[in-house]
Structure 1
Amino acid sequence: MKHKNTRMFLAALFLVGLSWACAKKPTAPEQIFESFPKPPVNLRAEVSDRKVTLYWVAQDSGNVQSFKVFRNTVDETTPVLVGTPDKMTFVDKGLTNGVEYVYRVSSVGQGQLESEQSEPIQAIPNIFSVLINNGGEFVNTSSVSLTLNAPTGTFVKLSNEPTFGDAQFEPVVATRDWLLSPGDGVKRVYAVFLDGVGNESSPVSDDIVLDTQAIIFSVSENTNGRLVVNGEVIHFTLNATEPDGNASVEIENGPTVPLFDNGTGGDRTAGDGLYERDYVVPFGVQTDRATVTGHFTDRAGNVAADLLAPGVVSIQTLPVAVTLLAPSSSDIGSSSVRLNWTLNSDGDFSEYRIYRATAAGVTLQSTLAGTVTDQLTTTFEDTGLESNREYFYRVYVFDGFGLSSG
């Protein structure tokens, strides 16, 4: 009787357990599928040289750990996995320009559950570019020419600002006029292209320096009014504050002297906008209180207003020296000697001065034996000499500026 009751109790427990199990609600198939992430949407491509950049939006980003990017060409039927980014963008490099590629993206969630692939998008990488004045470095006017490079049938949006503002797409032409933003300085033109399958290019740009004026700030020379003769050096300086231009100084009634900003010819520092020159005065250049005028044209072609240097420059050529002829026996007396020399024909002749010494090396500090002011007189007799003593002579030619040669 005891065992019978025990069997009945166990049977009752079994029935209760069976009843509870039957009452438990089964997991619906819909709940299992909801754990799969949804495919990305709004897939778009940005094209450039041998490169495609993809962007998309995840529908349920909280349930997505990464993405898979698939690619094939229009001639290939099976997409190939080319990337597994963990962000909603992917850059595909090393592509062939002009080839149409097809991209799809899937989402990967918890447990590596993968969504269906997104809608496909086509992209054709290509070269897109804009050049200002054929790639010039400087320009002196805001009116420029743009050269556009893009496949046939492409549209372009242009702007002086990276945000493009109200710029609209227009058909691409090989060249077009463009107006840079006002004000001197570096100017940049931005372009975005829209290709035949509806993809925009990565923004491209080119820059140029707008320089609309040139100024000479100072001109100087280092003579300080001192008379300069041929063979001496005058240092000229012109300050324009900008390098790579063309500078010179013009000596009134004399030569025009090019200046340098390349560290040579007396220029101290290359590329500092100070144009300098150690000018060796050549034979034949003569000026009297001449002005010095600075000229400058900058790298963009702007011509600066001329500027005068303070002070004046006087340059004279030394007189042409004469040759003292050896005296003949008839020219030498017991206490005198007659000297003869060649004629000086300088237009600014002043006088001949005859100097004497009792040793070789006659200079302007030696004894002045006499002066001849007639240019055509080329003889002089020195008297009152000691008999049987050797004398040395030199004839100096003086001009109207006091310069001499002997």
Structure 2
Amino acid sequence: RSVSVGLTAPVGTSLVQLSEDSAFAGAQWENYAATKNFELSDGDRMKTVYGRFQMESGGSSAGFAADSIILDRMALIDSVTENSDGAMLLPGDAVRFSVYTKETGGEASIEVAGLGTIALYDDGCCGDRVAANGVYEFLYTIPVNTELTDAVVTGRFTDAAGNEAATVKATTRLNATFPPDPVVLSGHAASSREIVLDWTKTGITDFGSYRLYRQTTAGVDSSSFAVTTISNAGTVTYTDTELADTTGYYYRLYVYDTRGNAAGSNEVHLTTLANQPPDTTVLAANLSGDSANVILTWLASTAEDFESYRLLRSTSPISEGAAYNESLVVAIINTAATTTYTDRPAAGTYYYRLFIFDVQGASSRSHVVSITVP
């Protein structure tokens, strides 16, 4: 707090009084010199030093002389903030760092583990909202591949006089993460009911799952219908089944890491093939050993989307071109491997035909066979 006071006094001046009080209360007379050392009172602020003189003849100067100086021995940070409030940030998100002081013209920065030192400004640019107000700020953009978990934000400040303030930490912590790289999705229609999806394998080490989404219009996202979730990172194909024929479907595959971050693939549009009716079969009719029953046999259907066999019986001839007639059905069999049926009609001549239906309602029919029960 010691300052050098330069004095200019009339010839014959012998004594001088210096004080921060214009009434010179408690001030002592000292031998006059052109330069005097003076101890300022404690506290950083504007200080005014008053001086008056006494002549060798014993007379005193009229009034006093004065000069002012700013005593600045200490810098102070009022507070440090970041405006994410601890929310999870992603690459490209912006966060404003602020160091609040009461001094302009200084230098401020913040330090974040994982980000390093970031300079702040009080010049109205770079995210500083008001120039020269003692609040130093910077609008920082989270870079790619940044991972932060409850990172401490520490503010630093050095004032214009070179005084360094004690560091202050923000009351909130900084959190940031980044999504995994997306995979490339492709696929093809395998049938009228199935679409096969393929994708490139993810390379992330903290793999959580693949999640496949689908809808019948463009713009698939994670709110669309969830087709499947796959927990094995090495699985790179999936067959979507039970679809409608000649129908377009849009797909997108998301890769999730263990923290819940996700990245969506490209969207693919694929159309199922037109449904083809099951192959026809060969029907045969024979009497049982006692001639009381009709034993009907046929070749098993190989249709992947098999739904049922439906056996028709009539007491009048069935033309080869006749359509399916629900009223003539005597048996519905839902197992493709079943290839025989025993009918027990009364005596008479009967005509049989077997229809094969798939799950989409398409059908094929056998030839007509007839047999007489005695």
Q: Choose which of 225, 234, 255 in structure 2 pairs with 1:397.
A: 255
- 1:394 to partner: Cα distance: 1.0
Distance 1:339 1:145, change over 3 A: farther
- 1:191 to partner: Cα distance: 9.7
Distance 1:210 1:370, change over 3 A: same
In the TM superposition, 1:109-120 aligns within 5 A as none
1:63-88 Cα deviation digits (max 9, x unpaired): xxxxxxxxxxxxxxxxxxxxxxxxxx
State the match for 1:353 in structure 2.
211
SS at match of 1:242: coil
How many pairs does the alignment contain?
250
State the match for 2:177 in structure 1.
316
Aligned equivalents of 1:255 and 1:380: distance in 2?
44
Q: Choose which of 215, 223, 235 in structure 1 pairs with 2:76.
A: 215
Aligned equivalents of 1:288 and 1:227: distance in 2?
9
- 1:250 to partner: Cα distance: 2.2
- 1:160 to partner: Cα distance: 7.0
Check whether the contact 1:184–1:211 (CA below 8 A) recurs between aligned residues: yes
Root mean square deviation of aligned Cα? 3.8
Aligned equivalents of 2:252 and 2:103: distance in 1?
54
Aligned equivalents of 1:273 and 1:353: distance in 2?
50
State the match for 2:330 in structure 1.
none
Distance 1:356 1:253, change over 3 A: same
- 1:168 to partner: Cα distance: 4.4
Check whether the contact 1:160–1:181 (CA below 8 A) recurs between aligned residues: no
In the TM superposition, 1:4-403 aligns within 5 A as 142=1, 166=29, 168-170=31-33, 182-187=42-47, 208-324=69-185, 326-327=186-187, 332-403=190-261
Percent of matched pairs sharing the same residue: 37
Aligned equivalents of 1:303 and 1:347: distance in 2?
44
SS at match of 1:391: strand
Check whether the contact 2:6–2:34 (CA below 8 A) recurs between aligned residues: no
Distance 1:252 1:190, change over 3 A: same
Aligned equivalents of 2:229 and 2:4: distance in 1?
75
1:184-236 Cα deviation digits (max 9, x unpaired): 223467899xxxxxxxxxx9987543211122222222223321111112233
Pick the structure with more strand per residue. Answer: 2
Aligned equivalents of 1:363 and 1:159: distance in 2?
80
Check whether the contact 1:158–1:189 (CA below 8 A) recurs between aligned residues: no
Aligned equivalents of 2:159 and 2:205: distance in 1?
42
SS at match of 1:319: coil
Pick the structure with more helix per residue. Answer: 1
Q: Which runs of 5+ in 2 are unaligned?
A: 8-15, 53-63, 265-374
Distance 1:208 1:388, change over 3 A: same
Aligned equivalents of 1:179 and 1:242: distance in 2?
24
SS at match of 2:46: strand
Check whether the contact 1:226–1:313 (CA below 8 A) recurs between aligned residues: yes
SS at match of 1:380: strand
Amino acid at match of 2:98: T
Amino acid at match of 1:210: L
1:242-277 Cα deviation digits (max 9, x unpaired): 222222222234333322222222322222222233
Amino acid at match of 2:155: G
- 1:375 to partner: Cα distance: 2.2
1:62-115 Cα deviation digits (max 9, x unpaired): xxxxxxxxxxxxxxxxxxxxxxxxxxxxxxxxxxxxxxxxxxxxxxxxxxxxxx
Aligned equivalents of 1:332 and 1:234: distance in 2?
49
Check whether the contact 2:100–2:134 (CA below 8 A) recurs between aligned residues: yes
State the match for 2:324 in structure 1.
none
Aligned equivalents of 1:160 and 1:285: distance in 2?
59
Check whether the contact 2:17–2:29 (CA below 8 A) recurs between aligned residues: no
State the match for 1:90 in structure 2.
none
Distance 1:344 1:144, change over 3 A: farther
- 1:315 to partner: Cα distance: 0.7
Amino acid at match of 2:224: S
Check whether the contact 2:91–2:144 (CA below 8 A) recurs between aligned residues: yes
Normalising by structure 2, what TM-score? 0.55
1:18-77 Cα deviation digits (max 9, x unpaired): xxxxxxxxxxxxxxxxxxxxxxxxxxxxxxxxxxxxxxxxxxxxxxxxxxxxxxxxxxxx
Amino acid at match of 1:290: A
Normalising by structure 1, what TM-score? 0.52
State the match for 2:326 in structure 1.
none
Aligned equivalents of 2:91 and 2:147: distance in 1?
9
Amino acid at match of 2:77: I
Aligned equivalents of 2:65 and 2:194: distance in 1?
96
SS at match of 2:248: coil
